[in-house]
Amino acid sequence: MVARNREAARVDRAYFDYAGGQNFYTVYRIHNLHFQIYGAMFLGRPSDAFEGAQALVETLPEPVVRYLPELFEAFVPMRLHILIRFGRWSCILKEQFPQDAALYSFSTALLHYARTVALANLKRHTEAKESARLFAQACDNVQPERMMFNNPCTEILKVAEAMMLGELHYKSGHVEQGLENLRRAVTLDDGLLYDEPWGWMQPTRHALGALLMDAGRYEEAENVYRADLGLDGSLPRPCRHPGNVWSLHGLSECLSRRGEMVENLHVRQQLDKALARAEVSITASCACRVSAA
């Protein structure tokens, strides 16, 4: 996925250089770069993901965003999803807010979300709560016509809110409240309209499973990972992520903890192959987990 979409984006770039970005064809280049980022995040390859995000920013300078903000603006802040996926909390806090908050309304809201998650994970709880308040304010300014392909940005931000509150409450010591918000995030994520790539960049079950593991809820975590991998048939195909390194790691740890060695032998074989493709160490299904194995 990563290599094919990188090549497609390279070809698209030739047309961009010829005709500029103020045309509908820019949607196709966005689509290919979006897929590159999505695939790289699943593979545990931040360099490929950041490469795609930088290409997106170069594809979407301000004049191009102004040409069609309803479709283009939501793809500007993709870098934030990568920073969260790989736990780059300090990097998130260095990100600058857009000067034009009206044009970049979704980007502004998403940065408040990312900052809240980062601050919560850095145990800066008072600042995280203030950032969550600013996120809510920013969401009120996101125009209803703003879309990320098939999904309204307002619906995507509902997933962000539940994820953010889940991590904020959990890291503040309110474990049950945190986990309940993450379960709500899973429901909202599953309920997004079909899209390729999916409207939310990091499967919400990865965070839920990780913090269930952190809380010692291994049985529920195992069920979460099985569902994400598509092993139990509980989810429609678009919500399954077969063979992804994050949930394979979580499932393998769950099986190991309860002494299930036969199934774990097969899971470990898949996990070893997935780990060989990753360029970073995978120790949990989400960087939000404190007691990573």
* Interval 283-293: pLDDT, tens: 999 999 975 55
Beta bridge partners of 151: 148
Domain 2-202 has CATH 3.40.190: no
The residues spanned by each domain of the chain are 2-202, 210-293
Select the more confidently predicted residue: 128 or 14: 128
Q: What is the DSSP letter of 142?
A: S
Give the separation between CA 90 and CA 84, rounded to whole angstroms.
Answer: 10
Task: Return the SS3 of 279.
Answer: coil
Predicted confidence at residue 291, as pLDDT, reads 58
Over range 80-105, report the average pLDDT. 99
Q: Look at residue 12 in the predicted model and tell me its pLDDT.
A: 87
Residue 146: its pLDDT value, please? Answer: 99
Tell which residue, 27, 67, 32, has the closest CA to residue 53. 32
Beta strand segments in 159-286, E? none
Q: Count of CB atoms within 10 A of residue 174's CB?
A: 14
User: What average pLDDT does the segment 39-65 reach?
Assistant: 97
* pLDDT in the model for residue 290: 78
Average pLDDT, integer, range 12-32: 91
What percent of the chain shows pLDDT beyond 90?
A: 93
DSSP state letter for 134:
H
* Alpha carbons within 13 A on the beta-carbon side of 72: 23
The answer to whether residue 24 scores a pLDDT higher than 90 is no
| C-alpha dihedral sign at 125, 130, 132, 135 | negative
> Which is more confidently placed, 68 or 9?
68
Total residue length of the chain: 293
pLDDT average, residue stretch 43-50: 98
pLDDT above 80 (res 188): yes
- pLDDT of res. 182: 99
Separation between Cα atoms, residue 203 and residue 228, nearest integer Å: 8
